[in-house]
Amino acid sequence: MGQVKKRHPASNTYARALLEIAEAADEGDAFADQLTAFATALESDRQLRAFFESPKIPRGDKKSVLERSLSGKVAVPVLNMLRLLIDKGRQTLFIEISDCFGEILDQARGRKHVQIASAMPISGSARQSLVTLLAERLGGEIVATETVDPTLLGGMTVRFDDTVIDGSLRTKLKYVREAMSTPRLGRNLLG
Q: Is the pLDDT of residue 4 over 80?
A: no
Q: What is the pLDDT of residues 36-77, one digit of tens each?
A: 999 999 999 999 999 999 999 999 999 999 999 999 999 999
Angle between helices 9-24 and 94-109 (to 10 degrees): 50
Domains 9-107 and 111-181 share a fold: no
Q: In what order do the strands lie in the sheet with 111-118?
A: 141-148, 111-118, 156-160, 163-166
Q: How far apart are CA 160 and CA 91, in angstroms?
A: 30
Query: Would you state the torsion angle of the CA atoms of residues 39, 56, 62, 86, taken in this order, to the nearest 10 degrees?
Result: 70
| CATH architecture entry for 111-181 | 3-Layer(aba) Sandwich (3.40)
DSSP helix/strand/coil, 182: coil
Contact 12, 90 (CB under 8 A): no
Task: Specify the CATH architecture of the domain 9-107.
Answer: Orthogonal Bundle (1.10)
Q: What is the pLDDT of residue 63?
A: 95
pLDDT of residue 178: 72
Least Cα distance to 114 among 85, 84, 137 occurs for 137
What pLDDT shows up at residue 52?
A: 94
Q: Where in the chain are the domains?
A: 9-107, 111-181
3-class DSSP state for residue 57?
A: coil
The C-alpha atoms of residue 39 and residue 29 are separated, in whole angstroms, by 15
For 127-142, the pLDDT digits (tens) are: 888 888 888 888 888 8
Q: Do residues 189 and 158 touch, judged by C-beta distance below 8 A?
A: no
What is the residue-wise DSSP string for 75-133? -HHHHHHHHHHHHHT-GGGHHHHHHHHHHHHHHHHTEEEEEEEESSPPPHHHHHHHHHH
